[in-house]
Amino acid sequence: MRASLPCLAALALSACAHPLVEPAGPPAPPPPSSASLAAPAAAPADPLDALDGDEGMWTFDAFPSARVEKLHGFAPSAAWLEHVRLSSVRVGGASGSLVSARGLVMTNHHVAHRCVEQLSSKGHDLVADGFLAGRDADERRCPDLEVLELLEIRDVTERVTGATRGKDDASFHAAQKAELAAIEKECAGDAADTRCDAISLWHGGRFHLYRYKRWQDVRLVFAPEFGAAFFGGDPDNFSFPRFDLDVAFVRVYEAGAPAATPHHLAWSREGAKAGDLSFVSGHPGATSRGLSVAELAWQRDVALPARIARLHEMHGMLAEYQQRGPEARRTAEGTLFGLENGLKALEGRLLALRDPKLMATKQAAEAKLRARVAADPALAATAASWGDVDRALERLRLVRPRYDYLERGAGLWSTLFGHARTLVRAADELPKPNRERLRELGDAALPAVRQTLASPAPIASELEIEQLTLSLTLLRQELGADDEAVRRVLGPASPREVATRAVRGTKLASPKVRAALLAGGKAAVAASSDPMIALAQSVDEAARAARRRFEQEVEGPLDRASEAIARARFALDGASGYPDATHTLRLAFGTVAGWTEGERAIAPFTTFGGAFERHTGRAPFALPPRWLAARGKLDLSTPFDLVTTHDIIGGNSGSPLIDRDARVVGLVFDGNLPGLGGDYRYDGRRDRAVAVDVRALRHALDRVYGAGRVLGEIAAKGD
């Protein structure tokens, strides 16, 4: 269970393609630091001095207030941190913030995109046209969005490492998984509004339990037109200057009424200016800064290239599919957008990994650590861990194709198939004790599973056929036509025949049918003649086998090795710095600042006027009609987007940018191209977060959208 391998949930098939919106898959755990080892052997003067300026995605329980004060003259208090934590929310796989006492949540349009698309239908394209609810009753429920507020962080390291102590490679993973499930179950009980995730930090250096308030009744309040939210489209994505109003508002409900949310953020009137200190509170998805050199090389040479190639294949298909007509265009748009976003992000990561300087730095650091470990008799057992990593990666080379294609969805790209797999597996898993189940069907995950199965969101069957055809074709190509699992799935038929038959014949597009199969359990699933259920059954044994092999031969050994390395590092240096991102709440600090690209200085702000200059009238450079009509009413000098030095990554989408008074000064929605290397390091000279200025939000809501109802609800504080 590693941060570098997210997207284990069969349900999250398509989310695998959205690195900026990280999948909300099962949380990641590992173990470390027995008391004796965790005791710092020697505490350096200030180990944080090794960091680069504003570097760091800090957990709220270990925020370096002293360092921020030293660098920027301001130290967030405990009360400040608590208020910000409770005003921050996780929205799906990304971020958001509470901005009113009545549960109003601000996030990015692209975070809510899926909901906006699901609420659309032929002739009612909310993605293209935008949405504004005039009153509570008009707010429309998002079929499968979940919002979480972090209530508590607890250290459970001792308990988890105790459960795996002395386990060998093959049993390590099962023991850890069972203990994590037990911890989560004890925490959440049967409360549907509580979610508990036991997560691994420091690649096994610590285990923490994150307890959340959970809302599943989430309703859309406002979304601008896609053309305004994503002006500049793929060509401008991850770049700057930008002119995007990438915002959406949703509201969390309890018992049919807007939830009371005493902790929420006010908006700044005046915004931030260049050089101002600010903070980003959000959920960076997964970074790989603490990975071993061998694991980084694996990502560079195998994992990323394979994924990029597959995403290009999918993207080429979908772009052409859209030519079938307006409905095809509408139903494929969100996925296409996710693919484009994912491709840029992955290609940026690959570029960073191919930089010989980056790898040289990593190699030098690892060599130094290994030398120190080798020189310390107390750490003798750890010295072999790097060799264990090498061997696990050797096995991964063999295991990866079947694991990726049969179990992780690369060969079965279809929402309907995802439902079928969930139902087939739920029938097998739910009768088991919680500790023994697949983690994505453990008690802690069940509310999300139920929400997904109950989602009334329409499923575009023509698109499903194309996706499944393409992925089955890749499956056959990757594993070979003679592979036993491929033969079971395809029989003598072609991928297109199998896909068409399953999609056209299935009843799983209906939430009622899914509910009945879930409720009916093993008997109902066994009695089903649904061809998509049959497809899921035909591949399940092989997929489970591939997963078991991965867990026992690769994941377990890797987790064991990196836990040992993490513990050795703690023993030598103490727990300084910040752990790699794990989809959990972090706080970053930084300032508004442009950067220099080659010889070109890039200013930190754009204005409304710039958007009109860039407007060509053709997507993706076409401002929507509302904007063109409102032009005369707009102050074109209003700041639009801005860049800051905060250390962010995919998953931070929708994070509020807040000043020292915890007032919103912006809304993070992107990073710049150099920042894509942020998976592996932070570079304060060039890595930038991209945000919508709060002044742009206010001005557009007021003058373009007439969204006084939303604005009126948000407290505004000025100088």
Task: Point out which residues bind its own copies (CB under 8 A).
Answer: 232, 234-236, 239, 301-302, 305, 308-310, 312-321, 323, 347, 350, 354, 466, 470, 473, 476-477, 480-481, 492-494, 497, 616-619, 621
Nearest approach, Cβ of 649 to its own copies (angstroms)? 22
Cβ atoms within 10 Å of 469's Cβ, excluding its own: 21
By beta-carbon proximity to its own copies, the closer residue of 234 and 428 is 234
By beta-carbon proximity to its own copies, the closer residue of 263 and 329 is 329
Q: Please state the length of the chain.
A: 719
Nearest approach, Cβ of 486 to its own copies (angstroms)? 9
By beta-carbon proximity to its own copies, the closer residue of 450 and 614 is 614
Nearest approach, Cβ of 309 to its own copies (angstroms)? 5
By beta-carbon proximity to its own copies, the closer residue of 36 and 616 is 616
Nearest approach, Cβ of 12 to its own copies (angstroms)? 22
Nearest approach, Cβ of 465 to its own copies (angstroms)? 9
DSSP letter assigned to residue 143: T
**Dihedral angle at the C-alpha atoms of 15, 19, 23, 24, nearest 10 degrees?**
-150
Q: How far is CA 713 from CA 529, 582, 707, in A?
A: 52, 33, 10
Nearest approach, Cβ of 460 to its own copies (angstroms)? 15
By beta-carbon proximity to its own copies, the closer residue of 195 and 476 is 476
Compute the C-alpha angle 681/684/689, nearest 5°: 90
Output the DSSP codes for 414-468: -HHHHHHHHHHHHHHHTTS-GGGS-GGGSGGGHHHHHHHHH------HHHHHHHH
Nearest approach, Cβ of 397 to its own copies (angstroms)? 11
By beta-carbon proximity to its own copies, the closer residue of 312 and 633 is 312
Which residue in 144, 245, 157 sits closest to 606, CA to CA?
Answer: 245
Cα 382 from Cα 376, distance rounded (Å):
10
Nearest approach, Cβ of 277 to its own copies (angstroms)? 32
Nearest approach, Cβ of 11 to its own copies (angstroms)? 24
Q: For residue 637, what are the contacts with CB-CB under 8 A and spacing of at least 6?
A: 607, 608, 609
By beta-carbon proximity to its own copies, the closer residue of 308 and 430 is 308
DSSP H or E segment with residue 201: strand 194-201
Contact present, 27 and 48 (Cβ < 8 Å): no
Output the DSSP codes for 614-683: H--SSTTS---HHHHHHGGGS-TTSEEEEEE-----TT-TTPEEE-TTS-EEEEEEEE-TGGGGGGT---
Name the amino acid, one letter, at 274.
A
By beta-carbon proximity to its own copies, the closer residue of 12 and 472 is 472
The pair phi, psi for residue 450, each rounded to 5°, is -60, -40
267-268 vs 716-717, strand pairing mode: parallel
By beta-carbon proximity to its own copies, the closer residue of 357 and 618 is 618
